[in-house]
């Protein structure tokens, strides 16, 4: 054993302990937030949950993980950083596929935005292009069906308010 290795080993126990504590602490904070982050606003007309958006806390893998291609898994693992959240976003008309890495402050902002009771002004602060299916004028969420989304991603709520539900248009 070289003297360098010996030095590393000597530092290890304390380092690991601190890291473990940090992880535990982080998990506690995020466990509370994670609950608030599973959001399925029910459609104001039919009660169908308007697609889900979820943010995964650091260190946890999405439920769909096993079904994802290996290349996707690899690239997500590579992007992973300590304390980083992973946002899986399924909007009314589209989604962000395998998710995007987001930082804790964005995760916190989303958690705040989706704290019940939901209303447009609050949901809007999350910064989702479709505002979770909320119609600004009705201050109510609608499902894909009731938005009557056209091929171009533009939809009309049951009361005739127009809104773009697809970020690509």
Using the rule CB under 5 A, is 143 a contact of Zn ion? yes
Using the rule CB under 5 A, is 139 a contact of Zn ion? no
Using the rule CB under 5 A, is 111 a contact of Zn ion? no
- Of the candidates 64, 53, 54, the one whose C-alpha atom is nearest the C-alpha of residue 34 is 54
Give the tokens for residue 111: 């958690």
- Of 45, 95, 104, 126, the one binding Zn ion (CB under 5 A) is 45
- Of the candidates 112, 64, 66, the one whose C-alpha atom is nearest the C-alpha of residue 89 is 64
Using the rule CB under 5 A, is 135 a contact of Zn ion? yes
CA–CA dist 115, 38 (Å, integer) = 10
- Of 23, 106, 124, 161, the one binding Zn ion (CB under 5 A) is 161
Beta bridge partners of 49: 42
Give the tokens for residue 105: 């402050």
DSSP element (H, E) containing 85: strand 85-89
- Of 125, 137, 148, 152, the one binding Zn ion (CB under 5 A) is 137
Q: Which residues 6+ apart lie within 8 Å of 94 measured at CB?
A: 153, 165, 166, 167, 168
Interface segment toward Zn ion; rule CB under 5 A; list 9-17, 20-28, 89-97, 145-153? 145-153
- Of 83, 100, 138, 156, the one binding Zn ion (CB under 5 A) is 138
Instruction: Give, as ranges, the residues between 47 and 76 that touch Zn ion (CB under 5 A).
Output: 48
Q: Which stretches of the chain bind Zn ion, using CB under 5 A?
A: 43, 45-46, 48, 135, 137-138, 143, 146, 157, 159, 161
């Amino acid at each position: 054993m070289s003297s360098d290795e010996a030095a590393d080993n000597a530092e290890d126990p304390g380092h690991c302990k601190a890291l473990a504590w940090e992880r535990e602490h982080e998990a506690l904070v995020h466990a509370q937030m994670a609950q608030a982050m599973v959001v399925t606003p029910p459609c104001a007309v039919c009660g169908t949950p308007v697609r889900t958006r979820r943010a995964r806390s650091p260190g946890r893998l999405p439920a769909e993980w096993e079904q994802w291609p290996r290349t996707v898994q690899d690239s997500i693992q590579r992007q992973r950083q300590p304390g980083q959240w992973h946002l899986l976003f399924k909007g009314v008309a589209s989604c962000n596929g395998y998710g995007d890495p987001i930082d804790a402050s964005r995760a916190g902002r989303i958690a705040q935005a989706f704290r019940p009771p939901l209303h447009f002004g609050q949901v809007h602060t999350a910064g989702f292009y479709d505002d979770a299916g909320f119609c600004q004028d009705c201050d109510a969420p609608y499902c894909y069906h009731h938005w009557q989304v056209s091929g171009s991603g533009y939809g009309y709520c049951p009361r005739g308010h127009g809104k773009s539900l697809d970020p690509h248009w």
